[in-house]
Structure 1
Amino acid sequence: MRLVIAECSVDYAGRLTAHLPMATRLIMLKADGSILIHSDGGSYKPLNWMTPPCSIKVTDPSQEQTAAGLTEIWTVSQTKTGDKLVISIAEVIADDQHEFGIDPGLVKDGVEAHLQELLAEHIETLGDGYSLVRREYMTAIGPVDILARDHGHTSVAVEIKRRGDIDGVEQLTRYLELMNRDPLLTPVRGVFAAQEIKPQARTLAEDRGIRCVVLDYDALRGMDDPDSRLF
């Protein structure tokens, strides 16, 4: 991973356009080809990013740009979509590179990992006509628990938690923002699935168009006995 702290402005051009004015920011260039731009605030969410596969071209600024104080222009092009991220650098404060090696991935607690496995085996729990595409669908910012398709063949990203809170909804929201930039997947709908979903998390999810599903662990394991129920 390469970490560059620079005084820069950023312009994104794609299905939407966005501009970040000149400021000191952290530019992360990851080994998977993704680029993320962070400020020293705003929690963990990047201000802008580009998903792999993408290419970077570094050029000298024009005379006009040089007069404005720029020293380098980075043009990041998304190979599949043609989207571009132009990073205009005035000063590089630090430029470090680190080898991380192979990451073993996120190890979830036993119940949460088992919920993912069981839901993948019984994907029809989400509704008739649902089909599994794959578990642990990798994105530039981490793996989505399950990628499925509904009866209309629309892509569905499923985030699974033991206890569903606001952080889980925010996590799924980030995945959806990223996945909906992929023309091979979009449109992607979200499902937030948990054994228990807090009211605040449900309100936030529904406000963002994310469907909430409460999972019955025993039913998924085939241990639910309908004859023992009172109703």
Structure 2
Amino acid sequence: MRIIVADCSAEYSGRLQASLPLAKRVLLIKADNSLLIFSELGSYKPLNWMVSPCTISDITPEDGENEKVIRVSATKSTDILEVSLRHIYSDETYDLGEDPGLHKEGVEDHLQRYLAEQIERIGKGATLVRREYPTPVGPVDIMAIDGEGQHVAIEIKRHGGIDGVEQLTRYVKLLNKDPLLAPVRGMFAAQTITPQARTLATERGFSCLLLDYDEMRGAETDDLRLF
């Protein structure tokens, strides 16, 4: 992991055009060459970024007077992110070692457990294969078989956004390479799903499932009921 603190500006070109004016920021460069630009305030998300697969290069002017540039080029498109460094305060590299992965706690973990126990919520006749089904890019939250005998990879989020759909896309693509599993369809399950995520999921052939946490855990509600 390389972490740079610098006065910098950035230009993103390709499928979209975006720019960041000169300011003091943090650049995070991962081992897979992904580059993310963060500011002190605002959202936890980066201001701009380029993710793997991509290539990265440091361009140092021969005269030593002009700005140093870090250029990141996407492998599968013409997108380019160029970061111009005016003044570097810190440039450090750290070996973080192997990451054991995320251990899910709280509501999202409970949703996964409840859905595994109540797997017919995805459709009549469905059966559970296992939770945390392994793939080369991480575990699928739930692998199941629907009433028609087809494998279903289920990604579970508290609040479903586009990132979750992209994550599910990677899982389904890899799982469908296994002739013992294919065809595998995807299901995106969450307490809430943004309109953009629902549109993207539908476009990619995934089904969406809204999860009612209180109902799944059997909580009583204050709603009036007729018996």
TM-score category of the 2 structures, normalised to the smaller one: 0.5 to 0.7
Equivalent pair of 2:112/2:156 in contact (CA under 8 Å)? no
Deviations 1:103-158 (A, max 9, x none): 22222237743532553686663468x9x9x95899x9x9885699xxxxxx9853
Q: Work out which of the residue numbers 106, 109, 133 in structure 1 matches 2:105.
A: 109
Establish whether residue 173 from structure 1 lines up as the match of residue 161 from structure 2: yes
Q: Give the CA deviation at 1:33.
A: 3.1
Q: Establish whether residue 71 from structure 1 lines up as the match of residue 70 from structure 2.
A: no
Amino acid across the alignment from 2:67: T
Hey, what does 2:40 align to over in structure 1?
40
* Superposition map of 1:1-231 within 5 A: 1-61=1-61, 70-109=66-105, 112-113=108-109, 115-117=111-113, 119=115, 125-126=121-122, 135=132, 145=141, 158-160=156-158, 169=159, 172-173=160-161, 175-176=163-164, 191-193=189-191, 205-206=193-194, 212-215=210-213, 216-217=215-216
Kindly state the Cα deviation for residue 52 of structure 1 after the two structures are TM-superposed: 1.2
* Aligned equivalent of 1:199: none
Count of equivalent residues: 191
Distance 1:45 1:110, change over 3 A: closer
1:57, 1:100 → 2: CA distance?
Answer: 21
SS at match of 1:105: coil
Q: How far does the alpha carbon of each residue in 1:45-88 deviate from its partner, in whole angstroms, 9 at most, with x for none?
A: 1001111122112223598xx8xx74211110122334211111
Which residue does the alignment assign to 2:149?
none
2:156, 2:169 → 1: CA distance?
A: 17
The percentage of counterpart residues that share the same residue type is 38
Normalising to structure 1: TM-score of the pair? 0.59
- The 8 Å contact of residues 140 and 154 in structure 2, kept in 1 or not, is answered as no
SS of residue matched to 1:115? helix
Aligned to 2:148: none
Q: Residues 2 and 108 from structure 1, CA distance in 2 versus in 1: closer, same or farther, beyond 3 angstroms?
A: same
Which sections of structure 2, spanning at least 5 residues, go unmatched?
145-152, 174-185, 199-207, 219-224
